Structure 1
């Protein structure tokens, strides 16, 4: 009996060691792989994003086998300054100063959303237009590396990739990648594809109004149309142009140097 117990203990030790190696090795491998992934993309322009791949599979699942994404990379200096400035004015005016997370904006969004929920409950109507507080860094991480949807796992990964991006990429690179991978229309990704699709011109020739209209359709580019804007996009576009002028216009980009 004693020999049997001894043999079982002997056999259990290798299993515990293997389990320990897995528990230590998997997180370490994740840290190494994701860090290298972000470092490489600091210098290599991404040929696609996770959102593009997900949208392609979504189309296949819907039986739309002819679906193709429109995407063409352009360096930041090949994009009219009005577009990146409009993106910042519309979505993240503290972009140059924060380190990936805008905690003041998060708190303001929380307070605003709480008021909207309370008003909706009093009226007995659905809640409309809750305010988000994701920074451009967070949105770049989400679009480039992750999947759509809401879960604590995805939010945790988004936060991790945001930290990596802010650590290893300069602000100009973050804005450059975002301007190239963000979806401006169904299957239309990035400044160049959007400029061609909606305005029939190169991204370098976008004017302030056109750039503001592209920024205005975010974060619902499949609902709104930058080429044929309705009243909401028009109003938002006008507000974005005012905000872009207030933060300094094209000259603001020099603050990222």
Structure 2
């Protein structure tokens, strides 16, 4: 499984954007394999005796994520002014505080075997790779700490279940536990792919988009692609405007809301 990552400065030369291009085919195939009912989940676990405990745990996590997404969709469709609609508004306010770097790391699945890193041609490939390695290494530390902290809060927030109201604190902490766990696993996978390797460096830094390795049976784990088009879209100014960011999202198939989060974060 291969993914395309975009890295480019968004404000000056110090604040950068890290984001993965949308892979619609992979998203659809993963959603089709996710168990949607308790019966489906139990059948997958009981019929797969050859699977490890970690694989079964992954199925349970995917099932829980599916249920959370389904419940969130129900709140989103609630009539304006209703109690469920107000809970949805509160959820949106909380989600707006999630850092874009966490969203980026969550988008790196464990099945990933190779990444193509696209960056403006004016940047040095080694600098880009070091930046990626830094954000991955930092993610392994930060999200591990937050994951354990969220787990310890779950029993505390579950006590609010005695109240005759939806247990918003519990579900929020449950979501944050899942989110930090995904970001941790994404950090570990990204760190593995972009870590220093003389073999990877020689085979990837001079790689171009139209080159095909005919004598190789598999892609190198890291491919660095200096893009003239991205350089043109980013421009030579210190700040990338919202209009330019929208154009970048269209050309490289990015989630516009996630990219704009980087810009909003720098303005705070």
Instruction: Give the alignment's TM-score, normalised by structure 1.
Output: 0.29
The structure with the greater share of residues assigned to strand is 2
Instruction: Give the alignment's TM-score, normalised by structure 2.
Output: 0.28
The structure with the greater share of residues assigned to helix is 1
